Amino acid sequence: MSHGYRMVQWTPFKKAFDLVLAAGVVIFVLAYLAAATLAQPQGESITPVQLLIRASGAAAFALLTLILMIGPLARLSGRFKPLLYNRRHMGVTCFVLALIHAVLVVIWYHGFAEINALVSLLEANTRYDSILGFPFESLGLASLAILFLLAATSHDFWNANFGPGLWKAIHMLVYWAYALLVAHIMLGVVQSERGLAYPVLAGAGGLLVAGLHLFAGWRERARDLGDARPRENGWIKVGPAVSIADGCAKIVAPPKSERIAVFRNGARIFALSNVCQHQGGPLGEGRIIDGCVVCPWHGFQYRPEDGRSPPPFTEKVATYRTRIEAGVVFVHADALPPGTEVAPSVMEAGA
């Protein structure tokens, strides 16, 4: 991780990721333009600007759908985690596409009005009491405003100044942006299109995103319920110490509390909060490298014995007491204050 707010260092992977992302957007837009042109009914015409309006809007919606699928997919399979780590690049790209779509709409349909183009957009239809005649443009504008807020606060500067809790709460607004975008497409199609392709695709995208989140949540809940309940005095059975791979963790979930990452470093057992203080990443899915737990999302480090980041960094997470009985690890469900040093439990020699 980096100290201060230096410019992002583009590693070869990030450069390749961004090139693939840019190429994917270009290919999608070109394919859309070609398909829309070929599918145009005889006797009807559409201008290049109108095609670009639809192509940029479709690309923004498709990319936002993909962005919202990455989280549950990464929980279901680790193969998707590289996408998760670089999701902010996709989010900024999505906003740019949505902005292009909005600017083209305002210029093409309202740029020659006698009043301000944005005012013309908002005043062109005020039938808020009608479903079929609802001003869907306002929904798209609201979604764009949320995407702008998310793109503008995506830098670590805002994460550090807002704090991870507020920053994450702000970025959860992406689901509202998506819901507004689905409604924008549905109502817009009802008012201006005769085909079913757009509403079917938009509805399928929404159902896919919702279905993936529900399935991933069900899987995690089933895993959490499978953990042993706290026994006397709040101790939770983690499992045999030898079942925890060296340098890795097993994650347990106390009832009505955040998950705990129980790490093994050689013969020593430590327990930390599973939530990274950077962007809420799952520490238990990381590894101990050079004596520190490294978050798999963005590389933030924490000492396992006290949950503190090594100087000059100041992040810290809660720690937990552990003990070993007959080779079985137990962790206490009550979190200690973040940064509290806890003596590790030690495995017996030859275990």
CATH of 232-346, picked from 3.90.1170.30, 3.60.20.10, 2.102.10.10, 2.60.120.430, is 2.102.10.10
> How would residue 229 be classed by pLDDT, with cut points 50, 70 and 90?
low
Is the separation of the CB atoms in 276 and 283 below 8 Å? yes
| Global pTM value | 0.75
The mean pLDDT value for 330-339 works out to: 93
DSSP state of 293: E
Buried b / exposed e across 312-349, counting CB within 10 Å, b at 16+? eeebbbbbbbbebeeeebbbbbebbebbbebebbebee
pLDDT exceeds cutoff 90 at 174: yes
What does the alpha-carbon distance between residue 53 and residue 100 come to, in Å, rounded to a whole number? 8
Residue 304: strand, helix, or coil: coil
pLDDT exceeds cutoff 50 at 222: yes
How much is the pLDDT for 8?
A: 44
How much is the pLDDT for 148?
A: 96
- 68 CB neighbour count, 10 Å cutoff: 22
The mean pLDDT value for 21-46 works out to: 88
β-pairing, 301-302 vs 322-325, is unpaired
How much is the pLDDT for 299?
A: 80
Is the separation of the CB atoms in 188 and 37 below 8 Å? no
How much is the pLDDT for 9?
A: 52
The mean pLDDT value for 17-40 works out to: 92
pLDDT exceeds cutoff 80 at 159: no
The mean pLDDT value for 72-94 works out to: 85
Q: Which residues contact 23 (CB under 8 A, 6 or more apart)?
A: none
Q: Provide the phi-psi class of 327: left if phi over 0, else alpha when psi is between -120 and 50, else beta.
A: left
How much is the pLDDT for 116?
A: 81
pLDDT more than 70, % of the chain: 91
* Residue 42, token pair as written in the block: 């005889």
The phi and psi torsions of 211 (rounded to 5 degrees) equal -65, -40
β-pairing, 260-265 vs 249-252, is antiparallel
Segments in the chain forming alpha helices (H)? 12-38, 48-76, 81-85, 87-110, 117-123, 136-152, 156-162, 164-171, 174-192, 197-226
How much is the pLDDT for 80?
A: 84
Q: Provide the phi-psi class of 307: left if phi over 0, else alpha when psi is between -120 and 50, else beta.
A: left
Give DSSP secondary structure letters for 218-265. HHHHHHHHHSPPP-GGGEEEEEEGGGSPTT-EEEE--TTS--EEEEEE
What does the alpha-carbon distance between residue 208 and residue 259 come to, in Å, rounded to a whole number? 27
* Residue 139, token pair as written in the block: 């929904």
